[in-house]
Amino acid sequence: MTVTAQSLLPDSWDVPPTFRERLGESAGRQRVMRDAGHLLLVLHAPPQPDGDERGGRFFWRCPDGQWRSHNLGSGPASLRTHLEQYAAAVEKWIADAGITDLAGMKLIAEHGQPAKVVRKAAEDSGADLVVIGRSSPGPLGRLRTNSYSIIRESPCAVLSV
């Protein structure tokens, strides 16, 4: 697969030029682009164990409804693989953190500003306690950088470890 220096998308993808122009030279934030019946999902790959950088993953649905991924194959299975890789990363993070008893714990995956998402999840679930990590970056590294706003906005007690 060939990728030009100007674009992160494979040269073989017949996407609207606006996708390549708007994407630029780095994946940046996760987002959706739409143009002329085309859909491009710009997502982050699961973080690597010893890194904070997240590479971009690109999923393109052309107007005929066919899905393509730049590195996970084609069809809806490529999106499923992406989600499964994230689930495996979360499971590894839980195991590495030494959490063995998940009774009473609930994993919630939401998009948005971390403090607002955590606050809403705590309110919706009636949580008595929110536990966040802030001492070292990892798969949930953004919680570290947002720990103080999470603590301020939480409707219940927060344990920051």
Q: Assign 3-class secondary structure to 64-79.
A: CCCEEECCCCECHHHH
* pLDDT class of 1 with cuts at 50, 70, 90: very low
In tens, the pLDDT along 81-116 reads 888 888 788 778 778 777 777 776 666 666 678 889
Beta bridge partners of 32: 41
- Does the residue 12 lie in any domain? no
- Does the residue 2 lie in any domain? no
Clarify whether residues 90 and 27 are in a common domain.
Answer: yes
- Does the residue 9 lie in any domain? no
User: How much is the average pLDDT of 53-77?
Assistant: 88
Instruction: Count up the domains in the chain and report the number.
Output: 2
- What is the extent of the structural domain holding 143? 101-160
The residue out of 95, 120, 143 marking a domain boundary is 95
Contacts 24+ apart (CB under 8 A), 21-27: 26/56, 27/54, 27/55, 27/56, 27/57, 27/58
The residue out of 42, 67, 95 marking a domain boundary is 95
The residue out of 95, 120, 151 marking a domain boundary is 95
Beta bridge partners of 31: 42
Clarify whether residues 46 and 108 are in a common domain.
Answer: no
Mean residue pLDDT of the chain comes to 80
Residue 66 in tokens: 């066919």
Q: What's this model's pTM, rounded to 2 decimal places?
A: 0.62
Instruction: Find, among 87, 63, 67, the residue nearest to 78 by Cα.
Output: 67
Clarify whether residues 152 and 119 are in a common domain.
Answer: yes
